[in-house]
Amino acid sequence: MEKVLKQLSQWALDKKSENKKYFAKLKKRPPKNLDYLMQELHEQEFERTDCLACANCCKTTGPLFTNNDIERIAKHFRQKPQQLIDTYLRIDEENDYVLQEVPCPFLGPDNYCSIYDVRPKACREFPHTDRKKFQQIRHLTIKNTAICPAAYNIVEEMKRRIPV
């Protein structure tokens, strides 16, 4: 996995223009069963992907924290939401709460998430490859292929299995 992660951003860069063209065409003519196909590709990829050997999302990019996330995590620590905000979060350019720094402070040295059961919604959904109307998040997906080896593989498999 380490070897893959070292090369992933270059691989993603090499495929960027091909991927942009693919998603532009997909957006114009998405197959009727795209949601079903994405669910299948997502499940197949995550059956063979060991996130605990990776944790690249937690190490290089943080989630955004919704108010519900903040309240839930603060409750878990028996803190006031403001305490959690002051300790770990900042507001970004888009006015969202994000981590003050990465790697995420909740990530352990063994790549386990110490707040797994109450982790932010964005962490649960990353890399969003089983999302409905997947073609609508193409910019985010292309960005994620440089961070997440599973997202990279899913997009490569999409191009093979869902020709446009």
| Listed residue (33, 52, 14, 25) closest to 152, CA to CA | 14
The sign one gets for the Cα dihedral 94, 100, 103, 106 is: negative
Please give the residues from 82 up to 141 whose contact with ligand SF4 meets the rule CB under 6 A.
Answer: 104, 106-107, 113, 115, 119-120, 123, 126-127
For ligand SF4, the closer CB: 14 or 101: 101
Give the containing element (helix H, strand E) for 36: helix 34-48
| Beta carbon of residue 122, minimum distance to ligand SF4 (angstroms, whole number) | 8
Please give the residues from 34 up to 93 whose contact with ligand SF4 meets the rule CB under 6 A.
Answer: 49, 51, 54-58, 62-63
| Beta carbon of residue 25, minimum distance to ligand SF4 (angstroms, whole number) | 25
> How far apart (Å, rounded) are the C-alpha atoms in residues 163 and 7?
26
Q: Examine residue 127 and say whether the peptide bond preceding it is cis (omega within 30 degrees of 0).
A: yes
Binding site for ligand SF4 (CB under 6 A): 49, 51, 54-58, 62-63, 104, 106-107, 113, 115, 119-120, 123, 126-127, 147-150
